[in-house]
Amino acid sequence: MQPRKCKELRISFKQVPSVFSGTPIEVVASFQVLGLTIQSNLKWDQQVEKICKKASKRLYFLSQLKRAKVQGKDLVKFYVTCIRPVLTYACEVYNFNLQEKQKLSLERIQKRAMRIIYGFDTQYDVALESSCLVKLSTYRDKLCDEFLTKISSNMKDKLFKYLPFNKNTNLPLRNVRKFSVPKCDTDRFKNSFINATCSRFNETYCK
């Protein structure tokens, strides 16, 4: 491993310089890992901006298909297979930490897609109903719920051991919450995937 090929992304308040083989390692404010842009402040501005730019470029092809008189149902299939995956890739990591303006930016892409498919006079809710789709924010939540269910049902999953299962079995079954979410001192920790998704699961399925 060569020091010049290494980067240091500090996700802490410590400012101690790192040295590898006597050579200081370059400190960066953000870094891309498996398609996700991780920022040192754990915000998602760059990731959302990248997603919106990439998805917006694909809207051009959707509009070209519309001009070519492709049927609406096939335009919806194109959106679902070629554009929506860009908007939701790895959303389990950042979904619950998105700011309201970032959620709106992502939702706006889907709104543009619906306008291309159904016309600018069609209301967003009507277009979603016609296409059998849901709001992008709702779809992201669904993906997070499914991901949690997949982890919690497989003891061999690498994330299984991090789930805060409720060990209290003395309560009536209908009142037992599956997960015991710890008290969080910061919003960053509270909105992390495991805490936020477990809280959603308890509120939705364990009432």
Q: Cβ distance 89 to 109 under 8 Å?
A: no
Quick one: 168 and 184 in the same domain? Answer: yes
Do residues 87 and 161 share a domain? no
126-165 per-position pLDDT tens digit = 999 999 999 999 999 999 999 988 998 899 999 888 888 8
Q: Are residues 63 and 128 in the same domain?
A: yes
Q: Is the pLDDT of residue 175 over 70?
A: no
What pLDDT was estimated at residue 203?
76
Note whether 157 and 196 are same-domain residues. yes
Q: What is d(CA 37, CA 90) in angstroms, rounded to the nearest whole number?
A: 11
**Distance between CA 159 and CA 92 in Å, rounded?**
13
Residue 12 sits in the same domain as residue 80: no
Q: Which of 85, 119, 140 is the last residue of a domain?
A: 140
Q: Are residues 52 and 107 in the same domain?
A: yes
CA atoms within 13 A on the CB side of 12: 6
Adjacent-strand bridge partners of 37: 32
Three-class DSSP labels, the chain: CCHHHCEEECCCCCCCCCEECCEECEEECEEEECCEEEECCCCCHHHHHHHHHHHHHHHHHHHHHHHCCCCHHHHHHHHHHHHHHHHHCCHHHHHHHCCHHHHHHHHHHHHHHHHHHHCCCCCHHHHHHHHCCCCHHHHHHHHHHHHHHHHHCCCCCCCHHHCCECCCCCCCHHHCCCECCCCCCCHHHHCCHHHHHHHHHHHHHCC
* Domain final residue, candidates 87, 105, 140: 140
Q: Alpha-carbon distance 144 to 91, whole Å? A: 8
Regarding whether 79 and 136 lie in a shared domain, the answer is yes
Contacts of 145 (CB under 8 A, 6+ apart): 197, 200, 201, 204
Q: What percent of the chain has pLDDT over 90?
A: 57
Considering the domain architecture, whether residues 99 and 168 belong to the same structural domain is answered as no
The C-alpha atoms of residue 112 and residue 104 are separated, in whole angstroms, by 12
Residue 206's pLDDT is: 61
Determine the pLDDT at residue 168: 63
Higher pLDDT, 176 or 152: 152
- The pLDDT value recorded for residue 197 is 84
Number of domains in the chain: 3
One domain, residues 117 and 149? no
Kindly tell me if the per-residue pLDDT of 2 is higher than 90. Answer: no
Q: What digits encode the pLDDT tens for the residues 181-193?
A: 778 777 777 878 7
| 39-91 residue pLDDT tens | 988 889 999 999 999 999 999 999 999 999 999 999 999 999 999 999 999 99
Residue 179 in this model has a pLDDT that exceeds 90: no
Residue 173 has pLDDT above 60, yes or no: no
Are 51 and 27 within one domain? no
What the block records as the tokens of 138 is 């709702």
Domain span holding position 108: 45-140
Do 129 and 164 sit in the same domain of this protein? no
Asked if 15 and 77 sit in the same domain, the reply is no
